[in-house]
Structure 1
Amino acid sequence: MTSTQSSLDDSPGLRPDDGARADRRWGVVALVTALLGFYGAATLVYERLQLFLDAGHRTSCDINSWLSCGTVMRTPQAEAFGFPNPFIGIVAYAVVLAIAFAVLAGARFAAWYWWCVQIGVTLGWAFILWLWWQTTFEINALCLYCMLVWIMQTVLFVHTTARNLGAGVIPSRPAVARAAGSWAWFVSAALLVLIFGTVFIRFAGVIFPA
């Protein structure tokens, strides 16, 4: 028995068969969210290149003054590290896709590997929260493809955390470990309601002009 399988067997919340099913569920969620996140990031890279070639280019999601990818792309926040942010998404989601395919093919990884996945996904979600704050309260404009990435990263973060709680990678009480998977979709929905509820309140004046 490998050390990885042993860690699943000894996990406080899951039996070995449950652990394998939890990994497959995570693999499906990771595959879907990474594919859609990659699509959003790749589309933003394409639109950013068009803006580079033509400063007057109208992006495919320039709908009005407050729902405009072009407006967001032209801000310093869109290049937080000196290059367009979507490049990070393309690389990161490609990595997640590779891990998801490996898990769905039956691969089992050691706890330290899942910690690396957890750290990467958590940092990605923290960056998404920063971008959400910047676009909502500083830039005062929204980007449809950015919001697609917000949704996918939030779901990926919650389900990765739930998987690692259930497998015992993240230490927790047995009851928490057992319940983590069952609550993952509810927690994802609650976080998205909070994020987009704030956006809705912030832009209510332009969505529903007096």
Structure 2
Amino acid sequence: MTDNAPRRPSVLAVWLIIAGIIGWYAAFSLTMDRFTLLGDPTASASCDINILVQCSANLTSAQGSVFGFPNPIVGLAAWIAPVVVGFALLAGARFARWFWVAFWAGMLFAFGFVCWLISQSIFVLGTLCPWCMVTWSVVIPSFYAVTLHLLRTGVVPVGERGREIADRLMAWVPLMALASYVVIAVLAQVRLDVLASFA
């Protein structure tokens, strides 16, 4: 079964390309910083600002290598997918249901992994990694947008009413993402007193 969208999802496609490029660059930057730290454990990562806002602590922690190798390597490989899908959609591609489900599963994994990393950064490591936060900022709206697209196009069978609601909610993805950022910022401020670190 193919995507039943009545129009080409150009806005979604452009966003996936932008998000993929931003996410890939963040992963690349983190990977380069990890190489620097491997070569010189006393060195500082390029995004180390102070004891609270830094990348080094996150990169060298157990949470920074969940799968036995640095997490940014996952990003280097995974962020290619949204870019390819975005360009394919702009070119008029119509994907089978299984493809969309597989792509959404990847987005769900990314969203869940990011939520876990956010909790680890705020509540366990007590640091905020700038490049990690860049990754968070593009994963969250990408997950929302892809999920709603699958609902509105009938890839996920929710009925006509559900498809209409999902279609209307697409315009609210930026606000949904902003609300998510606010929740993260509040948690970070309450737990870590981020503002005081810049005073």
2:195 aligns to what? 207
1:175 aligns with 2:161: no
1:84 aligns to what? 70
Q: TM-score, normalised by structure 1?
A: 0.87
**1:104, distance to aligned residue in structure 2 (A):** 1.3
Q: Deviations over 1:142-181 (max 9, x none)?
A: 1100000000100111111121111111232243233231
2:102 aligns to what? 116
1:62 aligns with 2:48: yes
Higher Rg of the two aligned structures = 1
**1:207, distance to aligned residue in structure 2 (A):** 2.6
**Cα RMSD (Å):** 1.6
CA distance in 1, matches of 2:12, 2:164: 20
1:75 aligns to what? 61
Q: Which moves more between the two structures, 104-113 or 123-132?
A: 104-113
Aligned residue runs from structure 1 range 1-210, under 5 A: 3-4=1-2, 7-8=3-4, 16-17=6-7, 20=8, 23-172=9-158, 173-204=162-193, 207-208=195-196
Helix, strand or coil for the counterpart of 2:114? helix
Contact 1:37 1:152 (C-alpha < 8 Å) held by counterparts:
yes
**1:57, distance to aligned residue in structure 2 (A):** 1.2
Helix, strand or coil for the counterpart of 2:45? coil
Residues paired across the two proteins, number: 195
**1:183, distance to aligned residue in structure 2 (A):** 2.2
Structure 1, unpaired ranges of 5+: 9-13
Q: Match of 2:68, as an amino acid?
A: G
Q: Which moves more between the two structures, 186-195 or 100-109?
A: 186-195
Q: Deviations over 1:20-62 (max 9, x none)?
A: 1xx2111111011111010100000000001111111111111
Helix, strand or coil for the counterpart of 2:128? coil
**1:107, distance to aligned residue in structure 2 (A):** 0.9
Q: TM-score, normalised by structure 2?
A: 0.92
**1:118, distance to aligned residue in structure 2 (A):** 0.7
